[in-house]
A = this chain, B = another copy of it.
Amino acid sequence: MPSLRAQIFRVAANGPDDISGVEALFASGLSPKDVVAVLGKTEGNGCVNDFSRGYATRSFETLFQKYGVEGVSLVMSGGTEGALSPHWTVFARAVVQAPTERALAIGVARTPSLPAEHLGRREQVLLVAEGVREAMRDAGIDDPGDVHFVQIKCPLLTLNRIAGLEAEGKILATRDTLRSMGLSRGASALGAAVALGEISAETINDTDICSRYELFSRCASTSAGVELTDHEIIVLGMSDKWSGPLAIDHAVMRDAIDTTAIREARGRLPANGHLAAVLAKAEPDPSGKVRGKRHTMLDDSDISGTRHARAFVGGVLAGIFGVTDLFVSGGAEHQGPPGGGPVAIIVEKEH
């Protein structure tokens, strides 16, 4: 009796172009065409001029081209501050001859192309919500409560796109390219929240996006990329239609040191499992304080606040899990509560 089975590999990277570990996986049997996504932590600054992401993306594009494989979602997140370790997390899925059981399910979807004048607006929220639902169907997940992580790659506005659209008389949500990244991430996160029933679509207006941060998804992780005009969506959750030893759950950290939430989520997973992956979001608390004590992340003109946050939350998580190759990414508009963020934990049960 066939079932779908997910596989996850954490592979060390010796630099943004070091794909040798993934090539070794292929050499030892993993089929490149089974790969659904690669989430990379690369060692740039994670901000505007982080070329480690593009360099890594280029390296993987070349690799998959070599195998004639298309459509793998490449999500590169810059920033391995503190002792965080550069690495690739490879997600694969394949049909196996095994009975179905409750296990990690991976679903993917791409939305139609987003008209640029919809970026950062209610229309983007709705488009993404539909895409997340489609990815859930692809994953065989019916209950939104079984979804634990939604990774979304979303478009942004470039100066060229803006100029072209304004020439056509279009009114855009912003003319600022950096701002367009935030708006697109925020709208995408709210789209996930709508699909998962965390927020009602009716209640969201254009002006809420990147403004009413009390609205958020507990599972969304979004990043904006210049190379697409649609959305690449990956849903991770539990489904009875899959098989295999992997299981996922998630926590929502209320602040940067909310270890209780993480321990509780870990406690809901098999105790004897070993860690397959941790996927987390971190940001400087916009209040300027953590549990009443001032932090200086937002006042530091030498180091971006996102770098501070990744280093620190990376330490919090590494202290709990005992490993440093964790996927901690920054920028968390509507992705968990302000100053906190979602943390997905995947474990592999021992046999």
Contacts and interface: CB of A to CB of B under 8 A. Distances in A.
B290 A324 contact: yes
Interface in A4-60: 12, 14-17, 43-45, 47-52, 54-55, 58
A249 interface: no
A295 B326 CA distance: 12
A134 interface: no
A163 interface: no
How would you classify the secondary structure of chain A's contact residues: helix, strand, loop or mixed?
Answer: loop
A48 B305 CA distance: 13
Given A293-B324, A297-B82, A316-B319, A55 B51 contact: yes
A53 B322 CA distance: 34
A301 B82 contact: no
A315 B316 CA distance: 5
B318 A12 contact: no
B12 A295 contact: no
Interface residues of A, number: 60
A69 interface: no
Interface string A299-336: 11111100111011111111110111100000000000
Given A49-B299, A302-B45, A54 B257 contact: no
A175 to B, nearest CB: 13
A52 B261 CA distance: 36
A296 interface: yes
9 smallest beta-carbon distances between A and B, as pairs: A315-B315, A82-B312, A47-B301, A311-B311, A316-B319, A85-B293, A312-B315, A55-B55, A315-B316
Interface of A: 12, 14-17, 43-45, 47-52, 54-55, 58, 80-87, 256-257, 259, 284-285, 290-291, 293-297, 299-304, 307-309, 311-320, 322-325
